[in-house]
Amino acid sequence: MSGKIKAGIIGGAGYTGGETTRLLLNHPHAELVFVQSRSQAGKPLTSVHHDLIGETDLKFSGDYNQSVDVLFLCLSHGESKKLLTENIYPSTTCIIDLGNDFRMGEKVGEREFVYGLPEFQRDKIKAARNIANPGCFATTIQLGLLPLAKAGLLTEVHTTGITGSTGAGQKLQDTTHFTWRANNISAYKTLTHQHLGEINQTLKSLQPKFSDTINFVPWRGDFTRGIFVSSVLNCQLSLEDANKLFKDYYVSYPFTQVANEMIDMKQVVNTNKCLLFLEKVGDKLVIHSTTDNLLKGASGQAIQNMNLMFGLEESAGLKLKGSVF
């Protein structure tokens, strides 16, 4: 497109709002027009997002209805649908929702949402006007399973994943206190995590006869950001054939890489990457996957979707270095 994409953010005071703001301010083809926040209206963005000092003079807006080409909704779950029901936006305004209100095919009025996992359906995203951005655990788990589902090789999956405290949002909770998180790990939402619905929906669209279970146990970790997942299933492929299957599937996708040696989470923190590593023990295939929950798991993927929707290079504004030191 000619000229810069005019972008706005609603719900800009939280972690995903802050990361989306940071990426848009540094995007070569986007102009951040406004960042809305009910709780911070009138205050400088830097009063909340201290990492932006020296990068912007913008203040938080209380206005939901400024004219933009694309609107990022960084709201609590349930609030996006309410916002779009109560406020009318032009059909020419693209919506990218980072919450879970539209991931299962829900719509509001005439707005229908495309599930925004590029490695699953990049062409549909390119043609979409409204995107339901995937969840962070959902992204990390699915990227470890998509090639198997595409080949019809999925069987019952046992998945364990650990996430940083930012995955719980910015609002202080008992389990996000430093004194609770430090030197501590715990499980939560065992086998009932809210991302299981979108995971199953995607996998069954690729492998319609898949009727087994994704058994997912999420853990809270003693760190701020990042996700590390290990998925185990029965698979008759040799390790060599499994690696070929995965590398062939992801050959054209810039952010998902299959490594030849064990991965660790610090390799992806502060990037839009997903790294995968495969192991084979007997009949068991183990797929390790790791992402930054706030980037490939949220704001980075939202920008990736914007790039695709507006015909830009998919990686524009997302060439970020991992925080490995």
List active site positions.
136
Structure tokens at 93: 């305004």
Q: How far apart are the C-alpha atoms of 64 and 219, rounded to whole Å?
A: 36
Q: How far apart are the C-alpha atoms of 248 and 34, rounded to whole Å?
A: 41
Contact 198, 190 (CB under 8 A): no
H/E element holding 149?
helix 146-150
Degrees, nearest 5: CA angle 168-26-10:
45
Q: Per-residue b/e over 194-206, b at no fewer than 16 CB within 10 Å?
A: ebbebbbebbeeb
**Alpha-carbon distances, residue 289 vs 18, 64, 73, 167, 276 (angstroms):** 25, 37, 27, 17, 5
String of DSSP letters for 172-200: --GGGSHHHHTT--EE-STTT-TTHHHHH
Structure tokens at 19: 């990361």
- Indicate the burial class of 42 (C-beta count within 10 angstroms; 0-12, 13-18, 19 or more): exposed
- Paired strand residues for 256: 274
Structure tokens at 267: 């390799």
CA dihedral 271, 274, 279, 283 (to 10 degrees): 160
Residues sharing a CB contact under 8 Å with residue 54, sequence separation 6 or more, in sequence order = none
